[in-house]
Chain A
Amino acid sequence: MTAAASSARPALRDHLVARAFRTKTGAIAGGWLVLLALAAIFAHVLTPYEYDVQQLSAAYSPPSLSHWLGTDEFGRDLLTRILYGARISLSVSVISIGLSVLAGMVLGAAAGYFGGRLDRMITTVIDLSWSFPEILVALILVAIIGPGVTGTMVAITVAYLAQFARLTRAQVMAIKSETFIEAASGLGASHRHILFRHLLPNAITPVLVSGMLATGDAIILEATLGFFGLGAQPPTPSWGAMMSSGTALLFKAPWIIIFPGLAAAITVVSINLFGDALIAGLDVRSRPRTE
């Protein structure tokens, strides 16, 4: 039984991601994300520069062979700072969306499965936070917690929670009325068995895909907070903060704002395209009949 379970599960998941990679857009978008992630992880090996060592003599250098993307007002290599910035942008958005999905699923599943007063309580809170724009929720939270990486992560986690909780709740409620849930309780299954073996596995895929898409939004939200100086604090590079310092130098050294902006834009678009490719390959039931 367990052997069968573990052999069947990864086969399915490989299938989904592998199929997304097999489409043209999926391959390009996914390729960029993998490349960026690797470059961020190995940034310290890839570039000869440090992200925080100032070299004022080289300030405002346009792109050249020694500084591929130019330098900023302190003479720091922009490519290096973008790669280190990717560490912050990617890890902050992925971790906080991950936490957000997790918490949203717990709340949504509890509300959808148990119903009643618990459902009304959770739904009311969720609907309330849903009625504010994410940026507003995030700004309020950062104002309370204080600027920095931790504050940004908490802010993003909470800002997107409502979305995942609502989606999970709707999924769980729809699946709850399927006969196979009734069949499981007829076998004598516990709430835990029904929730973790039937409801969540069937509800999880759309939630994960929407989490994937929200990661793109979270990168922008992180950049926005950084732009306002509320994200990672200097000298730690973040794409938002880099763009913010570039605004004043828009005409003198446009590369300072353009390249971090491009990095963010390409990454967000890639995430969205890859998410779409995932959605296209989502339906497990599209596999052929064997007779």
Chain B
Amino acid sequence: MADATNLLVIDRLTKRFDSGAGLFAPRRSMTAVRDVSLAVSRGSVVGVVGESGCGKSTLARLVLRLLEPTQGTVHFDGIDLGKLAPRDLRKARRRMQMVFQDPYSSLDPRFTIEQVVGEPFTVQGEVLAPGRIAELLDQVGLAGEIARSYPHQLSGGQRQRVGVARALALRPDLLVLDEPTASLDVSIQAQIIKLLQDLKRDLGLTYLFISHDLGLVRYFCDRIIVMYLGAVVEELPSPSTEPRHPYTRALLDSTFSPDPGKRRHLASLTGEIPSAFNLPKGCAFAARCSRASSRCLSERPSLTMHASGHRAACFHPIADDEKEPS
């Protein structure tokens, strides 16, 4: 029973990591992803944005089943990935691929580019049509001669293009992009984003785009999920939607605009992200929030709908008529 609109449906996904109890250390557990639900419709780009420790990379790995969730389900094209036998999961992986953050460590240094891009075929036991490698390299804007090079002989941008070519090899429907440009120069970042946009249009792909850069996410994505310490705090139906949650607002204010005419003179947020061990009882953001009340410290807010597709988890959301702090 395939879903006609949504390619990917994540329902109440939770991942807890237990640090093993040592001889002297007590067992501790950390909830990296807590109760996350989201849907990605076919042909769209959904952005997941947040700072370190917000669980966005863990979420990406849960979606692709590189990690087993503690609770919750992931449906891909109507199929519950958690119920698949290993053999069927391997088949399903053809249709969902990942592009990794670090183009340096995501390619085996002993493989030639030809071998890297050909690996999906070997792994899936598929015959590699002659010329397919050249075709894939061409698709990501690389010259065919590069096939015989080793990763260390390429620049960061070229390597990331190789990473994209590998992900495209088996003609997937969904790409999970885990900060694909975070370790690249801005001029190269823009190249890769342009490439991803072109590929999406030409191949009809669907993207789940993970990033810490709200400015980039607002440029690239159709819908935006904002995460803080493992939980979704806000879901924006469009990149231009004004945020309701104070954390999203703060994230937006911390994104420096390349316009000296629009300087912000106050840091909008004090303090730092608390440890994911020992989460507070109430709202995880309360300690840094200027709007926090006593209720925020004792009770955890749940996501509530503000407008169509716009949800926020906050007891004191920013109202429409409130002016943004300058």
Contact = CB atoms under 8 A, between A and B. Distances in A.
Interface in B88-108: 89-91, 93-94, 97-98, 100-102, 105-108
Interface residues of A, number: 29
A179 interface: yes
Given A188-B94, A289-B153, A180 B105 contact: yes
Interface residues of B, number: 41
Contacts of A188: 89-91, 93-94, 123-124
The 6 closest A-B pairs by CB, nearest first: A188-B90, A188-B93, A179-B106, A179-B105, A189-B123, A180-B108
Interface stretch (A1-9, A161-169, A253-261): A1-9
Interface stretch (A148-156, A233-241, A280-288): A280-288
A185 B91 CA distance: 12
B152 interface: yes
Interface of A is mostly: helix
B174 to A, nearest CB: 12
A291 interface: yes
B115 A285 contact: no
Interface string A26-61: 000000000000000000000000000000000000
Interface of B: 61, 64, 66, 89-91, 93-94, 97-98, 100-102, 105-110, 112, 114-115, 118-124, 128, 147-150, 152-155, 163, 166, 170
B66 A186 contact: yes
26 contacts: A1-B115, A1-B121, A4-B115, A4-B148, A8-B115, A179-B101, A180-B107, A180-B108, A183-B98, A183-B163, A185-B66, A187-B119, A187-B120, A187-B124, A187-B170, A188-B91, A188-B124, A190-B123, A197-B119, A197-B122, A284-B109, A284-B150, A287-B150, A287-B152, A289-B152, A290-B153
Given A183-B100, A188-B124, A285 B114 contact: no
Given A4-B114, A8-B115, A289-B153, A183 B106 contact: yes
Contacts of A12: 110
A263 interface: no
A67 interface: no
A187 B105 contact: no
A182 interface: yes
A1 B120 CA distance: 11
Contact of B100 (A1, A179, A284, A290): A179
Contacts of A284: 109-110, 150, 152
Given A180-B105, A187-B123, A287 B153 contact: yes
B112 A291 contact: no
A184 interface: yes
Contact of A180 (B106, B121, B122): B106
A193 interface: yes
A186 B148 CA distance: 24
Nearest to B106: A179
A219 to B, nearest CB: 31
Nearest to A201: B110
Nearest to A202: B110
Interface string A117-150: 0000000000000000000000000000000000
Contacts of B121: 1
Contacts of B107: 180, 183
A114 to B, nearest CB: 16
Interface in A198-216: 198, 201-202
B124 A179 contact: no
A14 interface: no
A40 to B, nearest CB: 34
Q: Which of B120, B123, B147, B149 has the most CB of A within 10 A?
A: B123
A221 to B, nearest CB: 33
A6 to B, nearest CB: 11
B128 A1 contact: yes
B164 to A, nearest CB: 12
A165 B148 CA distance: 34
Nearest to B147: A4
A179 B182 CA distance: 15
B123 A291 contact: no
Given A287-B152, A289-B152, A289-B153, A184 B109 contact: no
Contacts of A201: 110
A172 to B, nearest CB: 14
A182 B120 contact: no
Q: Which of A178, A179, A198, A284 has the most CB of B within 10 A?
A: A179
Contacts of A193: 122-123
A187 to B, nearest CB: 5
Contact of B98 (A186, A197, A285): A186
Given A8-B115, A185-B66, A290-B149, A198 B108 contact: yes
B152 A183 contact: no
Given A1-B118, A8-B115, A198-B108, A187 B93 contact: yes
B315 to A, nearest CB: 39
Contact of A8 (B91, B112, B154): B112
Contacts of B61: 182
A289 B124 CA distance: 31
